[in-house]
Structure 1
């Protein structure tokens, strides 16, 4: 895993790239982190030419490293642009292929999935792209397993985000994967952006507005987050919102793109991760305080969602002690 700022993140900026996604990458990976007491990444920009005209000529990027900087990337963020029909430069695609061949992690934001697919590194793998381009992506790249109704896809060492704002979702996911939930929460607080947004792209697809819109779930979610250690059920949430469980399910689907139970479980798991990162070694205590009930349930959910056991997660992301990264395994 990345060790502080020794992990180099390089962004390739190409002709007509989107400034927003470049800003997202800079905000998540490029800023100093005094609030954490350490910097998380070594961040670089590079471009195939000395001057790069950004989308619609908004501005021109100059005086960044040449494309050879991609050769030293541990994580390479590939370029995107609004016109997905225009092929990428051959030297950019070759840089992506070389990075993939030597084991670098590849990241595509929004139409960056087209760049990865053009380079041939997505064949047989899972990926996502903006819902507006899903049909065109399938036509051009039938060997890629496109997932439409998600904000991002983590397929190991190749990750893709569905749209512009989803670049932040994916960026925070990468920070969480590399440095743990506490670090991701700190970055999200500085961004004033949710550390995890539930649901997929379906919630953003244009559809008729109902005659009587549902009330916001915000107050209910805040109430539940303060009581994650309590034996909350979907029926309890519905009672608090003064609606039927069927109505509550409809509201969660419409507003968050998920179910009440899935949301509640994810919140509890995030709390369990934070407790482990703070050094709590007693799984029964973590399970009880996070509302997950039993150590067995905690283990099962941790493995399913993070790929790690609770003890492995704590060793990887827990507090550093004089004897090593964390206290003895559970």
Structure 2
């Protein structure tokens, strides 16, 4: 069945044709929702909500735009409705013992979750929509500082490349309002991006240097070797742990946290670790498993997502392990 015939059948209420039609856009729509809300689990729910709304409104698709654009419009508004019902904003952190050499501590984005790279490959029909520069955690954190409608405008215009007129039609705004929102959004985004991320870089495969760095990170973690760990870090490295409010900035502070976490007073002391490499948000990541003394299996403990700059680790975002299954990772290792 051709795309045109499938669209006609879907509009006429053929469930099979509708299901086949929307399913081909599931992954890219989830990425779109993920950018807006910052949560992997919520983005899954919002894609389902998008498909439900599309089915109910199927007769409204008249072919004046592509079916894909029609779905994006529904998904965007589903996300905005969700954020209207569940308003939230980054919250300032309390000042910790260690000061940040680059300024105040980062705001807490407690709903932030990682996105498995395995769900980004392959991504058709629009692979450009999932480039590293707009899916990495630094971008996700920065864009969460925008009001929801500014966020939607920026993503539709600067990420998806929609025109001002297309964006205005999708959001029920005037073209002037879209241009104004974008003018306000861009400076705020730049303000919250890391300094070296102001110019978005295109996606590239992991280099041999990055793979070697990841292996050294895993080795240091498994040996609980804080000194070896410190050698991998930039001087201005930052550690956060969503949804926990904890943060630490600077090589000395982050290394001190590692020493404390594995020290004699820690429940992890004398525990054994295993690491499994993975990828999240087009960034290197490591799934950490811990086996306490006397235990038979290694239990899922943490997912560390790394931002690497200049051959060193610039940021570690440590997530709780409940999303391991989304990464096709087991919860235990023997």
Same-fold call, TM cutoff 0.5:
no
How would you bin the TM-score normalised by the shorter chain?
Answer: under 0.3
TM-score between the two structures when normalised by the length of structure 1: 0.26
